[in-house]
A and B are shown apart, each in its own frame.
Chain A
Amino acid sequence: MADATLVRDFDPLATGSAARRVRSKALVYALLTLFAAFYLLPIGIVLLNSFRELPDIARTGFFAVPETLTLQPWREALTSFCLAGACEGIRPFYLNSILMAVPATIISTAFGLLNGYILSMWRFRGSEWVFGFVTLGVFLPAQMTLLPWAYVLGNAGLTNTIWGLILIHTVQGLAFTTLFCRNYFVNIPDDLIKAARIDGAGFWRIFRKIVLPLSPPIVIVTVIWQFTGIWNDFLYGVVFSSGDRQPITSALIALTAGATSVRHHNVEAAATILAAIPPLLIYLFGGKYFVRGLTQGAVK
């Protein structure tokens, strides 16, 4: 398959009379808008309520035109909201999440690239089986792996450390990154590699000179997938971190459970949006490549 086109080079609706064309275009945009409303509703509601005063919410519910707008909830969420026993807002947990998600994403992506490269271009007897086996890791329910992980981390001396969480997310991520990268590299023509090998290029040289320069789309796919997955996990964060070293999503589960103290819906709304910013940014800027990378990778 050649490079995927990102835009159709013909217009599917450009058939029939002018009136019909206008009608079908209008229909398409109407449907797109309708669906967009459905998709934006939850985030819209959260956003709206993050700017409202608490008494206002209490009086009129979550779906109402705000009487006044305020930035106070955002200030509180950042600096003084009580979460996981500390009253310093969500800032401290942000750093924990970044310290966990960034290394785990980089390591699992690096291994995924190498594994994908080997499993597509340096195949050996049984390498397909290895691939299938590694991929099975995609399917294990997290709840099942908690106790085995506790043994592993305990024996490795990594309990309640950020490195323990990085290890878990890296190992779990390997299955996804290997799957994505291998299916992407399979599409690189064999001739390219053969020629390089005849020229005397070795394993690492081919990787550096040929494979890596072709990798940016799939790197973006794995980075998006891994980063959002790790950022949004709360279970491992709850179980394998201690004290004030919890990742942000773990700290935020306080908001979903029936806490015994008074709810501050507006501050909670602001906190949830603040917590979602990094993955959202990655989607916004990487989204284009996500679609292109997937075309060539995961779906083969």
Chain B
Amino acid sequence: MTLAFDDRSERRLLWRNRLATWTPRLVLLPTLIASVVYVLVFTLWTFWISLSNSTLLPDLSYGGIKHYVALWNHARWHVAYTNLFLFGALYVTGSLVLGTVLAILIDQRIRAEALWRTIYLYPLAISFVVTGTAWRWILEPTTGIQQMLRNLGWESATFDWIIDRDMAIYCVVLAGMWQASGFAMALILAGLRSVDQDLVKAAQIDGASMARIYRKVLLPAIRPIFLAVLVILLQFAIKTFDLVAALTGGGPGLATNVPAIYVYDLMFQRGQIGQGAAAAIMILLALAVVLVPYALYTIWRQRREAAHG
């Protein structure tokens, strides 16, 4: 009798243990399936399409690397791919620097901190479809800053970057920084606040100036945060689409084309789905250039931390 009872309770325990191991995996399953479809299947499908004969509609017959050849023979793609790196580098470093400056300024025990923070953070809340129009008005020489300065009596004032093919990309960078630097500020500020305050006090007692404390103590302490900001900004940079579409439409000429616009244009406007897919794969490749070193760094850091306990 007791034996049977024990057996049953043991079995129940066993069953419960099994359930305990399997519940988390079962709950995770929908996400895993969704991710396999979304990340893996979608990417492999696109890769296959980039090697297929697809034009107007997806066509799965194998066509070789002709779309990649055509892509790299296309002057516009060179402009777009170069812009990705130029824009990416300036936008990411610019947002990072601006975000750091703002975070440090806000960190000075200022009044109405929440208000300042909201002012710098709000651009991320509004679609660029909306704010792009406003930026266009501001940068356009005949309607914006230049016109205003001239109306004020400074007849020779000139600010016409947006219509200058060599300078227009910097307008895109400027508007992009405006949108994203608040986000960098929020992350960096959060990081600064999480640094052990005793460290700062110790440095202060040693007589270090504030500038020195930031440079030597606070900013180095939040290096992982900079890395995270960097990755999120790069992810934004690589996906940049509506920023350019709303601000310059890729012009003047082709000067501000970026890969995401190229992909969209070829796949849907031109009916060259294969070449558009090839361009998308090249975007992912550019992404890998950024992600692989980051992943390696993360693994290396984890190993080192594990080694040091």
- Residues of A bordering B, CB below 8 Å: 1, 4-13, 15, 25, 28-29, 31-32, 35-36, 38-43, 45-46, 60-64, 111, 114-115, 118-119, 122, 124, 130, 132-134, 136-149, 152, 171-172, 174-175, 178, 202-204, 228, 231-235, 249, 252-253, 255-256, 268, 272-273, 275-276, 279-280, 282-284, 287-288, 290-292, 294-295, 298-300
The segment out of B4-12, B87-95, B129-137 that lies at the interface is B129-137
Q: Say yes or no for B97: interface residue by CB 8 A criterion.
A: no
The answer for the CA separation of A253 and B268 in the assembled complex, in Å, is 17
* Known A-B contacts A232-B127, A276-B130, A294-B190; A202 and B20 likewise in contact (beta carbons under 8 Å): yes
- The 7 A-B residue pairs with the shortest CB-CB distance in the complex, in nearest-first order: A232-B127, A295-B190, A122-B24, A42-B134, A144-B280, A63-B148, A279-B125
When A291-B190, A294-B187 are in contact, do A145 and B228 touch as well, CB less than 8 Å? no
Contact of A141 among B25, B147, B232, B283 (CB under 8 A): B283
Question: A111 near B30 (CB under 8 angstroms)?
Answer: yes
What residues of A have a CB within 8 angstroms of the CB of B210 in the complex? 12-13, 15
A252 and B135 CA atoms in complex are apart in Å by 16
| B residues in contact with A45, CB < 8 Å | 134, 137-138
B23 nearest CB neighbor, chain A only: A203
> A240 vs B245: C-alpha distance in the bound complex, in angstroms?
20
The reply to whether B109 and A7 contact each other, CB–CB distance below 8 Å, is yes
> Interface on B for A, CB 8 Å cutoff?
16, 19-21, 23-25, 27-28, 30-32, 34-39, 41-43, 45-46, 49, 58, 101-102, 105-110, 113-114, 116-135, 137-138, 142-145, 147-148, 151, 178, 182, 186-187, 189-191, 193-194, 197, 200-201, 204, 209-210, 213, 224-225, 228-229, 232, 235, 238-239, 241-242, 245-246, 260, 263-264, 267-268, 273, 276-277, 280, 283-284, 287, 291, 295
User: When the two chains form their complex, are residues A39 and B123 in contact, meaning their CB atoms are under 8 A apart?
Assistant: yes
Q: Which residues of A contact B105 (CB under 8 A)?
A: 28, 31-32, 35
Q: Show 22 A/B contacts (Cβ-Cβ < 8 Å), sorted by A.
A: A1-B194, A7-B109, A8-B107, A36-B116, A38-B178, A41-B138, A43-B134, A134-B31, A139-B284, A139-B287, A143-B267, A147-B273, A171-B35, A171-B38, A228-B124, A232-B127, A234-B129, A249-B129, A272-B130, A283-B122, A295-B190, A299-B229
Report A-chain residues with C-beta under 8 Å of the C-beta of B201. 10
The answer to whether A139 touches B235, judged by C-beta atoms less than 8 angstroms apart, is: yes
